[in-house]
Amino acid sequence: MENLKSKDPLHGITLQKIVEQLVEHYGFDTLGELIKVKCFTDNPSVKSSLNFLRKTAWARKQVEELYVHTLPKFQNKV
């Protein structure tokens, strides 16, 4: 059997890991400017952001798109 690697850059990455990496890279201030949602601007935390993003598909899509766009910067840090 061949080992097939998924071409989806989000494969195997949890939403929590995505949010944590984005917050570490950008900080909540910049993240709130890039994606206009209150969970990043008003008393932000990873926990409150996860709660909101799990319920709000359009916001989660924006976060995932930003993560994919930023992914090469994360890989350069390693």
- Position 7 in a domain: no
Cβ of 42: how many Cβ atoms within 10 Å? 10
- Position 5 in a domain: no
pLDDT at residue 72 in the model: 83
Residue 53 sits in a domain whose CATH number is 1.10.720.30
pTM of the predicted model as reported, rounded to 2 decimal places: 0.85
pLDDT at residue 3 in the model: 62
The C-alpha angle 66, 69, 74, rounded to 5 degrees, equals 100
Mean pLDDT by 10 residues, the chain (78 residues): 72 94 95 94 95 96 95 72
- Position 56 in a domain: yes
Number of structural domains (the chain) is 1
pLDDT at residue 9 in the model: 86
What 3-state DSSP class applies to 12? coil
What 3-state DSSP class applies to 53? helix
User: How far, in Å, CA of 78 to CA of 71, rounded?
Assistant: 11
Amino acid letter, 24: E
